[in-house]
Chains A and B, each alone.
Chain A
Amino acid sequence: MRVQIFKHGNYLIAAIPSALSDDDLLELRDDLAKQVGECRASALIVDVTAWDVMDSFAVRIFRNMVQMIRLRGADTIIVGIQPEVAFAMVQLGLTLADVATALDLEEGIEYLERQKENRAFLTR
């Protein structure tokens, strides 16, 4: 299953359809990590608005992916977690603690812009 990946300036945006199998998820992770490198993107936005469930496997893969991409010098942010999914996740104790999250695409981009400014400020 090929996932649509868009380029938005320095950012990569991946809108993930629902019902990805475990294998699809693994493939997606590797694919995205590769793309970030190839496009020399400074950040990846993963949009899961279409998801109605997020299980512990998906969470683990996402955290993997965030670390991999960070090692390649880019940020990742997960956007679009729906209320029902968020609720189910916290009940299972999956809090995605070390992963940035935002409400939607717009918020995600704004977050990344802020991060860029902060970094620019720190390295002055």
Chain B
Amino acid sequence: MAIKEKQTLLQSVPESTVLLRELASHLRDNRIPLREEWTRRIIEVGLLTAMTREEIFAEATTVYDNYVALLETGSVEAIQAYAHDLSERIIQRGVDTQEVLGIVLLLRDVLARALFKKYQPDVVLFNLVLDAFEPAANRIAKTVGVGFVQERERTILQQQKAIRELSTPVLQVRDRMLILPIIGSIDPQRARKVTELLLRGIRAHRAKVVVIDITGVPSVDTAIANHLVQAVDASRLMGAAVIVTGVSPAFAQSLVTIGVDSTKMNTVGDLQGGIEAAEQLLGYKLIKISETTRNNNEK
């Protein structure tokens, strides 16, 4: 093609935004078959298995129309709202967030092929069409993807905060005896907070024995083992003996690894044993009231 002719052709081709409007209108006109195609592909690839075909088709209608509208107007806020709406609609039905991105990308493919079919004969125009379509479609996919990642991260942060705030009560169960049941994972911050609470509890209750139960601590590593040793040592400085209960084999291994002198750390298998040992240390003895004595008293 001569250069002059090419230039004329280029001049007669509409600008990007105008082009987008035309594309959108074409995609809207053909929405019924294209939606069908999209739904078919979704099922074929094995996405949205938690939904029935009818459910998928019902959701597909709104999602499709909104997608096409976004292609045309495409502000970031609008796309973010779209992504948010998408996750609310679909995730309700037990769908994974990864699947949502998957179906958005599939829709992009279906629409791209539809445009190919229409504009392909005119190579120059087709390239302009792609120049207009691709950035718009990519913007949608990227915003949806990033939106989900941020949502996930927000949830993770919330859960971490909740775990940190799991209260660790320091409970007095006998005169001069405290129990500290630790539930949940311990990070350095929580370990510090728990140790502070424990030491203040020793002072407030004038405890002579503390039973620290770690049955509820799921994961163990040398860092946690170190925190525990510090809590034990600090308690001893305040004149309280510590009995550690609920030590799992993995935890025992961690303690050995950090070189804890086993004669210095008093451990008992379970909480019941620990409380009994603590009572003995304090000079208590538990005696069961015998049946005959009780009958005698009742007469």
Contact = CB atoms under 8 A, between A and B. Distances in A.
Interface of A: 79, 81-87, 89-91, 95-96, 101-104, 107-108, 111
Given A81-B237, A86-B238, 8 more contacts: A83-B196, A83-B203, A83-B238, A87-B199, A89-B234, A96-B237, A107-B206, A108-B239
A85 B237 CA distance: 9
Given A83-B199, A86-B199, A87-B195, A103 B234 contact: no
B164 interface: no
Interface string B185-198: 00000000001100
B202 A103 contact: yes
Contacts of B238: 81, 83, 86, 101, 103
A91 B208 CA distance: 22
A81 B199 CA distance: 10
A106 B178 CA distance: 19
Given A101-B238, A102-B239, A83 B230 contact: no
Contact of B206 (A79, A81, A95, A103): A103
24 contacts: A81-B238, A83-B196, A83-B199, A83-B234, A84-B199, A86-B199, A86-B237, A86-B238, A89-B237, A90-B233, A90-B234, A96-B237, A101-B236, A101-B238, A101-B239, A102-B239, A103-B202, A103-B203, A103-B206, A103-B238, A103-B240, A107-B206, A107-B208, A111-B239
B152 interface: no
Contacts of A95: 233, 236-237
Nearest to A79: B239
Interface in B195-241: 195-196, 199-200, 202-203, 206, 208, 230-231, 233-240
Given A83-B202, A89-B234, A90-B234, A107 B196 contact: no
A90 B203 CA distance: 17
Residue of A79, A90, A101, A103 with most partner-chain B CB within 10 A: A90
A120 to B, nearest CB: 18
B237 A101 contact: yes
Interface of B is mostly: helix
Contacts of B231: 90
A95 to B, nearest CB: 5
Contacts of B230: 87, 90-91
Given A87-B234, A91-B230, A82 B239 contact: no
B234 A86 contact: yes
A84 B199 CA distance: 8
Among all A-B residue pairs, the 8 with the closest Cβ atoms:
A83-B199, A102-B239, A103-B239, A86-B234, A86-B237, A90-B230, A90-B233, A90-B234
A31 B239 CA distance: 26
A111 B236 CA distance: 14
A91 B234 CA distance: 9
A111 B238 CA distance: 13
B239 A83 contact: no
Nearest to B199: A83
B200 to A, nearest CB: 5
A104 B202 CA distance: 11
Residue of B200, B208, B237 with most partner-chain A CB within 10 A: B237
A83 B200 contact: yes
Contacts of B234: 83, 86-87, 89-90
A90 B237 contact: yes
Contacts of B195: 87
A69 B27 CA distance: 95
Contacts of A111: 239
Contacts of A83: 196, 199-200, 202-203, 234, 238
Contact of B203 (A82, A101, A102, A108): A82
Contacts of A107: 206, 208, 239
